[in-house]
Amino acid sequence: ENLPLVLGVESTCDETGVALVRGHELLVDVTASSMDQHARYGGIIPEIASRAHLESFLPTLESALEKAGVELSEVDAIACSAGPGLIGSLTVGNCAAKSLASALGKPLYGLNHVVGHLAVDQLVHGEFPERFVGLVVSGGHSNLLLVNDIATDIVELGGTLDDAAGEAFDKVGRLLGLPYPGGPHVDRLSQQGNPEAIKFPRGLSRPKDLKEHPYDFSFSGLKTAVARYIETLQKQGEELPVEDICAAFSEAVNDSLTSKAIAACQAHDVKTIVIGGGFSANSRLRSLLDERASAAGIEVRMPPLKYCTDNGAQIAALGSNLVAAGLAPSDWDFAPDSSMP
């Protein structure tokens, strides 16, 4: 009851999120999305996303306060995602959060959005173990993190050198003529295909790559291999085995993600993996990770899907960790950083 009440503001991409968290308890989480406005362009248009944040922020804030039955004056601290993300979207959310904090005279924390994808799991599954490996996968990120302390000590083990996993799925979806975003469609079709039917390459899996990039990912070579495979069949006038292409492609992506996540745990003597990001909806990621983690004696923690896509709860949850750790708020002149590590 008397733990600090933290208001979280999310605005890295196309979701405007506002949430309230006390300790690890989520009071409310409201999200407005501009996804529908981008679909016809086949990708996020930053200018449209920024304007949508501007229009959505106050209604989203008001709806969150009303649903939680909370007055603004009861808020003890404000947290916003300060990066990585689209600079226009971040700027709108950060200005809104700064204005609120300054008007209310409350501390403001500018936070890392990717870390928030992990922090949100505490709202559902409680306190984190002492150390864990975080795997954050979405349309914008594919990161492996060693989390010694969610508020103070996070080591980036690796990330994608080119496309994020969700982005690669979306690109393959486009090659196959599926609607945007293609990720969920490719996933659905993959479940009816044979992953062994086509042998697609695994990025950064040769011995030399494993030495130099043990925890990095690369999906652009795989995407090119899929494009060539499709072109060749089309030139020959053959019908595309769409389900098999999706299954073999999905297997290649998830083989890389899961094998490197498990290897990171083993190398650092960690017994828990926490997953975050919209790609954690992927059915093969879930099944392959469960299989490999349980074989290795590793526990997998995965927030429910509604907390895996971008939301204010992830930022409020992380803010709550910083407040609980007694960390100083951000300086008032902090700027959003679109390429924050």
| Footprint of ligand KG4 (CB under 6 A) | 13, 138-140, 166-167, 169-170, 181, 183-184, 187, 277-279, 281-282, 309-310
SS3 at position 199: coil
Name which of 103, 118, 108 is nearest 79 in CA terms.
108
Q: Is residue 170 a known part of a binding site?
A: yes
> Could you tell me the smallest distance in angstroms from the CB atom of residue 120 to ligand KG4?
11
**Binding mask 127-166 vs Zn ion (x if CB under 5 A, - otherwise)?**
-----------x----------------------------
Rounded least distance, CB 285 to ligand KG4, Å:
8
Question: What binding mask, one character per residue, do residues 19-58 give for Zn ion by CB under 5 A, x or -?
Answer: ----------------------------------------
158 versus 276: smaller Cβ distance to ligand KG4: 276
How far, CA to CA in Å, does 102 sit from each of 57, 58, 62, 333, 334?
17, 16, 18, 12, 13
Question: ∠ CA 50-55-57 to the nearest 5 degrees?
Answer: 90
CA angle in degrees (0–180, nearest 5) for 189-191-197:
90
Does the annotation place 187 within a ligand binding site? yes
Toward ligand KG4, which CB reaches closer, 3 or 48?
48
Alpha carbon of 219 to those of 72, 242, 311, 331: distances in Å? 45, 19, 26, 38
Site string for Zn ion, 84-103 (x = CB under 5 A): --------------------
Residue 170 within binding range of Zn ion, rule CB under 5 A: no
182 is in an annotated binding site: no
End-to-end C-alpha distance for the chain, whole angstroms: 35
- 218 in helix, strand or coil? coil
- Least distance from C-beta 52 to ligand KG4, angstroms? 15
State how far the Cα of 152 lies from the Cα of 237, in Å rounded to an integer: 57
C-alpha separations of 246 from 107, 167, 174, 196, 204 in Å = 47, 14, 12, 11, 20
Which of 57, 310, 317, 322: binder of Zn ion (CB under 5 A)?
310
Per partner kind, with CB cut-offs from 5 to 8 A, the member of ligand KG4, Zn ion, none near residue 139 is: ligand KG4
